[in-house]
Chain A
């Protein structure tokens, strides 16, 4: 049976949307809360604030001292995490099913009354700065391409800025900023609660009402449009990287908006598979194994994966190449392959490969309770339809060769960003 056949969706009186996906195959549960705010919504002068705030949500709430959240999850046999995305922030726990009520209690407590203190804010600013040193500053290709490409492709602050944040901006954050951010964006009406795994629907509904029912309603914030026109030329920028041993390049194009043009979006998704999924794909064959221009090449929808952000979103092609191969040779070969696909649609067999691999990867995602829970919540939040996950294999299978060809045609050299990374070590 598919997830959708057993899916239950409803909302509490305070506006909290709920998705229940019972599945008794293993005695474990996943619980997640998605808030409809990500780093695209943070104000100028406060880069990195949405992510910093995510850290603070783990630092205690009315019923939970600092560190208690972690201890209660882990002493129930569970794991937890949170992550900040362009358009949303998620929090989750995966636990043995006996701990379902605890997870609901923990999420409800911080949705109702988080403790936002100066001491915790200062401590987490330090932790976030270490996270940035670890993942960006002290590593080759740090932030490639998710931090480095957007400022080339986009003009407006929400789309272009660094979601990890500048150290000065992080240090300027105040407790008052936190209070205002929470009151504005962390309203129950701006969130989705998802429970997946081993539970009965009636019991889960009762527990959800018990713990979340009295979280006071607050208005749902108006969601701003982040729309901006696609670039009207090829925009280039170079990033010198003292730690990178080889040059790299990232191409950024705009993709269709999945909420208004899902077919166009899926055609780009299939195109990404035709281009770089597996040894037999077009760009692997030509760039990696044929002409041996690059070490690695990848293509995909979204800077963090597909179905991960609303419009505007990015189609990326990234490659690492040797010094001797100039970037223009790599770009020339990619453009030729895109032209070829634009002129002659891919063969049925190429599409069948992409379709079967997507079907398998969605099964695997479903098998991991963390990814199943998070995907259901994200699809409810962004597209208002978690059942779409089950229909994706069919939708992907129905993408026509002509549609893929049209997607290739849309990736035009005169409307894209080209970010190069140049080794700048001593």
Chain B
């Protein structure tokens, strides 16, 4: 068969109309308990029996002002699962594996996170291992030495990734040496951490008061809370977990050029102060952000990817901390079109203020936001992660279930008002790349090397 492309693209019947949407069934409101145990641990348990599994997320606020805190926290997270008084590393892995379980720990400037799941009928085993780690992790010298060595190598590997280099540069440019910037500790700091320091940090900072345990799965919530209370009752402390101190407001200014000689692609990272999810205007901001660069059919992506072909990846999103929020706009482009991409980003930022999203754009992002919430919370893991992200703000399942109504109530005028947060004069940021590849960038202005 040999047809031309034109013949392929036409049928006798011609173009057909888009079918209307059907009637949407709302999701069931799941049984849930949100309570604080005697130890100060908040437990959010939600029954979501889609599969015979259970998802667990423990968040311990874990900030620290000491310049070496990030290195200690990172080694602690890496070595937490290496052994307790009762179990060695292999025993931990074996017990979890036999109930189809997995558990991992990670640290960032805000919190220590433990993520786990298992078959629902293995929940008691999972809790027993978790309790054992929280109250009895030993951080044996040789295990800490091994994890420290591997961390140094992983940090070295990660530090060569362009996106990591760009993120680090942006954090430094935005917040100087605030603890929030220490997302990945320096390899030499990690190399100097001793097991005794890690044990001391665990005793001081891995505490239940202020921490949140989210449990989503094929289990009754009252029963979950009772089992958690019984299993984790021995995890206690007089201290409260340490919350990240508020960040300074962002100062708008020129983008900092960070040279990376030989790079074939540039990273553009822009940021501005924004509003948190607890703000009454948040739903409107969420829609304004979607319209700008928050999804594929956004102005930014349609411009610099689908029209210009400058990039494979461009997006804008909100970044939340316990005390506030910022907007981020990012893309990676070939060196030769770096200046072009920056020009278009600034153009789209300005256009969002001067020609805010139309009624039809607002309807599109409204449906998208509501639908995405529905599909992203349909799975146990998705719902658990959403709840875990909201918990530090004091929010929970009610907020999540009510959010579609808030999105439905937003008017185009409110979106236009929120769009003013995207004014190009409110932004700062970084450009990482090989300056030899984009000599025109300086002609645009607003980029500095110092």
Contacts and interface: CB of A to CB of B under 8 A. Distances in A.
Given A113-B8, A134-B265, A369-B378, 18 more contacts: A62-B11, A74-B368, A77-B374, A97-B25, A101-B22, A123-B307, A125-B309, A130-B265, A178-B5, A183-B2, A245-B160, A246-B157, A278-B96, A288-B150, A292-B146, A292-B149, A360-B102, A369-B379
Contact of B18 (A26, A72, A100, A368): A72
B171 to A, nearest CB: 20
Given A138-B265, A176-B5, A364-B381, A75 B11 contact: no
A70 B297 contact: yes
The 10 closest A-B pairs by CB, nearest first: A77-B371, A360-B100, A126-B309, A353-B97, A98-B24, A26-B378, A75-B364, A131-B312, A116-B5, A280-B93
A75 B8 contact: no
A412 interface: no
A295 B313 CA distance: 30
A249 B203 CA distance: 40
Given A27-B25, A179-B5, A183-B8, A367 B51 contact: yes
B1 interface: yes
Contacts of A95: 371, 375
Contacts of B280: none
Interface of B: 1-5, 7-11, 13-27, 49-53, 81, 89-90, 92-94, 96-102, 117-119, 146, 149-150, 153-154, 156-157, 159-162, 262-265, 295-297, 302, 305-307, 309-313, 332-334, 363-364, 367-372, 374-375, 378-382
Interface in A22-67: 25-28, 61-63, 66-67
A357 interface: yes
B150 A279 contact: no
Contact of A357 (B49, B102, B157, B310): B102
Contacts, number: 266
Contacts of B369: 77
A107 interface: no
A128 B305 CA distance: 10
Interface of A: 25-28, 61-63, 66-67, 70-72, 74-80, 94-102, 105, 109, 112-117, 122-131, 133-134, 137-140, 175-176, 178-180, 182-184, 198, 214, 218-219, 242-246, 277-281, 285, 288-289, 292, 295-296, 320, 322, 349, 352-354, 356-357, 359-361, 363-364, 366-369
B333 A75 contact: no
Contacts of B295: 74
A227 to B, nearest CB: 28
A97 B22 contact: yes
Among A67, A183, A281, A367, max chain B CB count under 10 A is at A367
A63 B150 contact: no
Nearest to B101: A360
A377 B399 CA distance: 36
A408 to B, nearest CB: 19
Most buried by A among B7, B8, B364, B381: B8
B297 A67 contact: yes
Contacts of B51: 363-364, 366-367
Given A74-B364, A94-B375, A292-B149, A367 B296 contact: no
A134 B313 contact: yes
A140 B161 contact: yes
A215 B10 CA distance: 12
A405 B146 CA distance: 30
Contacts of A127: 305-306, 309, 311-312
Contact of A134 (B10, B81, B312, B381): B312
Of listed B3, B11, B18, residue having the most chain A CB within 10 A: B18
A243 B156 CA distance: 11
B32 to A, nearest CB: 16
B363 A75 contact: yes
Contact of A98 (B9, B22, B101): B22
A130 B333 contact: yes
Nearest to A279: B93
B24 A97 contact: yes
Contact of B297 (A71, A124, A137, A281): A71
Contacts of A123: 306-307, 309
A179 B22 contact: no
11 contacts: A27-B27, A28-B374, A62-B11, A101-B19, A126-B309, A134-B332, A138-B162, A139-B161, A175-B5, A246-B156, A285-B90
Contact of A360 (B5, B16, B23, B119): B119
Given A99-B21, A113-B8, A139-B162, A78 B375 contact: yes
Contacts of B22: 97-101
A363 B52 contact: yes
A125 B161 CA distance: 25
A105 B50 CA distance: 28
Given A67-B297, A134-B313, A363-B53, A114 B374 contact: no
Contacts of B157: 140, 244-246, 295, 320
A356 B4 CA distance: 53
Contacts of A295: 150, 153-154, 157
A214 B102 CA distance: 48
B439 to A, nearest CB: 19
A27 B263 contact: no
Nearest to A425: B160
Contact of A133 (B53, B99, B334, B371): B334
